[in-house]
């Protein structure tokens, strides 16, 4: 009985850790089933996140905030809007201005009062932005408000943000939780010369020369990236991965309850099947493989590309001919299974161009393909080594085993 209780305790702790890694800010409202686990195991989580990843965790009675440091360039992922589309630069700007306005906002306010505070904050920052000037501005402003409600910084007891986005005269009452709003910015802005300097300060420990910092960098790379490819690491980190990969994945396995796939090309953490679909990133982002029209079409596309290109063993990347990508992408979107998912998951037929962009974005974020930004959307793409595991095997054949490094 004691052994079973210990196993159950470990499973609960690891599930809580995976949730925090995926959603660094959770509240009693946003995660009513998972927050109690985080709160119950807070001491263990605080110690383990600090020891294994060097992350600082704060757990209060109604929220928990995991503050991550390092790897800004390698890990950054766009916030998703309700539709699944990524935040635009304007939406990010309105989100930042809204957080500034909330600092002086009363606990009970309205969307019109908050919009006025955003106008003042924009003017103070030298920006000519007005959330009520036209619908496009209002929608960008509302995208930030919706995200703030999901984080628990705002609640809407009266009215609808969707209605306000369509009609600027719609009245919406809001309650402000200043404590949670203050936790959203993990690294509040400070006096720096430009944004590049600010990012460098946040990422300061990722290139530190001492062994502790180098080990933390290795573990963060593994925890925060779908796949870590040896060919993409510098000589120092590649050498450290080769010498410390087993210890690193053991520590991460103890914290997250995950397994590791270690091959000559790189290392990937495999999350439990029950939550692999959202093991990384914000609540609305999607892991891989996943359900839904985007996930299903991405899996179909990847299997077809891996089968057609059939990259040789131990190949880091192979170019995808643009014509092949366009043809196979259209076929994946037009597949009966994808259309069935679209009918059940969406209230409308998704635009093929938009769906194509989301499919490629998912595979890129999952480190299964990559893309040179200066190229056209369907040009300059490469199939990466981890995609080979999704190749469709010929009948009666087995996948070859590959040595680890």
pLDDT tens readout for residues 136-176: 999 999 999 999 999 999 999 999 999 999 998 899 999 99
The answer to whether residues 38 and 19 touch, using CB atoms and an 8 Å cutoff, is: yes
pLDDT digits (tens, 9 = 90+) for 92-140: 999 999 999 999 999 999 999 999 999 999 999 888 899 888 899 999 9
Residue 395 pLDDT > 70, yes or no?
A: no
In the chain, the N- to C-terminal Cα span, in Å, equals 40
Residue with more model confidence, 377 or 229: 229
Q: Are 180 and 61 in contact (CB under 8 A)?
A: no
Separation in Å, CA 309 to CA 78, 103, 136, 325, 359: 30, 54, 43, 11, 19
**pLDDT tens-place string over residues 318-361:** 999 999 999 999 988 887 666 555 555 454 456 677 788 888 98
Buried b (16+ CB within 10 A) or exposed e, 220-247: bbbbbbbbbbbebbeeebbebbeebbee
Phi, psi of 87 (to 5 degrees): -60, 140
Predicted local confidence at residue 226, as pLDDT: 85
Looking at residue 376, its pLDDT comes to 59
The answer to whether 185 and 100 are in contact (CB under 8 A) is no
Q: What is the pLDDT of residues 24-66, one digit of tens each?
A: 999 998 899 999 999 999 999 999 999 999 999 999 999 999 9
Q: What is the pLDDT of residue 189?
A: 67
219 close to 53: Cβ distance less than 8 angstroms: yes
CA dist 203 and 87 (Å) reads 22
Residue pair 360/345 in contact by the 8 Å Cβ criterion:
no
Residue 39, pLDDT score: 96
Task: State both tokens at 318.
Answer: 């192979």
* CA–CA gap between residue 115 and residue 172 (Å, rounded): 11
Does 276 score more than 80 pLDDT? no
- How many whole angstroms separate alpha carbon 371 and alpha carbon 317? 11
Provide the phi-psi class of 70: left if phi over 0, else alpha when psi is between -120 and 50, else beta: left
Instruction: Tell whether the model's pLDDT for residue 4 goes beyond 80.
Output: no
pLDDT score of 214: 82
State the Cα–Cα distance between residues 155 and 241, nearest whole angstrom: 45
Task: Please state the φ and ψ torsions of residue 60, each to the nearest 5 degrees.
Answer: -110, -175
Which residue do the tokens 């893309």 mark?
Answer: 371
**If you average pLDDT over each of 57-66, 68-77, 366-375, 385-394, which comes out highest?**
57-66
Answer for the pair 239, 88: CB distance below 8 angstroms, yes or no: no
From CA 35, how far away is CA 42, in angstroms rounded? Answer: 10
Which tokens go with 180? Answer: 């949670």
Secondary structure of residue 226 in the 3-state scheme: coil
Are 141 and 118 in contact by the 8 Å Cβ rule? The answer is yes
Asked whether the predicted pLDDT for residue 196 surpasses 50, the reply is yes
CA dist 341 and 304 (Å) reads 19
Amino acid 63: pLDDT: 94
* pLDDT confidence band for 404 (50 / 70 / 90): very low
Residue 58 and residue 39: Cα distance in Å, rounded? Answer: 10
Task: Give yes or no for a contact between 203 and 73, defined as CB atoms under 8 angstroms apart.
Answer: yes
- What integer is the mean pLDDT of 198-210? 60
């Amino acid at each position: 009985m004691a052994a079973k209780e210990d196993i159950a305790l470990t499973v609960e702790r690891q599930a809580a850790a995976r949730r925090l890694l995926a959603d660094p800010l959770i509240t009693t409202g946003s995660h009513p089933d998972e927050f109690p686990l985080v709160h119950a195991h807070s001491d263990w989580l605080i110690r383990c996140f600090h020891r294994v990843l060097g992350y600082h965790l704060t757990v209060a009675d109604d929220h928990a905030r995991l503050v991550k440091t390092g790897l800004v360039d390698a890990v950054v992922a766009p916030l998703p809007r309700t539709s699944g589309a990524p935040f635009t630069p304007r939406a990010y700007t309105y989100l930042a201005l809204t957080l500034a306005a909330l600092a002086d906002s009363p606990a009970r306010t309205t969307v019109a009062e908050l919009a006025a505070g955003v106008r003042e904050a924009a003017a103070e920052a030298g920006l000519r932005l007005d959330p009520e000037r036209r619908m496009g501005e209002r929608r960008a402003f509302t995208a930030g408000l919706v995200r703030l409600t999901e984080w628990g910084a705002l609640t809407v007891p009266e009215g609808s943000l969707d209605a306000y986005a369509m009609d600027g005269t719609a009245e919406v009452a809001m309650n402000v939780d200043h404590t949670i709003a203050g936790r959203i910015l993990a690294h509040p802005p400070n006096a720096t010369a430009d944004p590049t300097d600010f990012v460098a300060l946040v990422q300061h420990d990722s290139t530190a020369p001492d062994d502790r910092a180098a080990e933390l960098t290795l573990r963060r790379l593994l925890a925060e990236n779908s796949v870590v490819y040896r060919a993409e690491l510098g000589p120092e980190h590649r050498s450290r991965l080769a010498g410390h990969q087993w210890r690193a994945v053991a520590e991460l396995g103890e914290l997250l309850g995950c397994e590791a796939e270690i091959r000559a090309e790189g290392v990937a953490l495999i999350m439990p099947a029950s939550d692999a679909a959202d093991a990384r990133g914000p609540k609305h982002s999607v892991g891989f493989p996943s359900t839904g029209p985007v996930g299903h079409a991405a899996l179909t596309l990847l299997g077809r590309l891996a089968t057609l290109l059939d990259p040789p063993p131990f190949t880091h990347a192979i170019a995808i001919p643009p014509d092949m990508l366009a043809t196979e992408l259209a076929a994946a979107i037009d597949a009966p299974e994808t259309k069935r998912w679209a009918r059940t998951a969406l209230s409308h037929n998704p635009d093929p161009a938009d769906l194509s962009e989301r499919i490629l974005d998912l595979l890129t974020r999952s480190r299964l393909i990559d893309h040179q930004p200066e190229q056209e959307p369907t040009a300059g793409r490469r199939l990466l080594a981890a995609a080979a595991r999704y190749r469709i095997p010929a009948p009666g054949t087995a996948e070859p085993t590959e040595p680890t490094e």
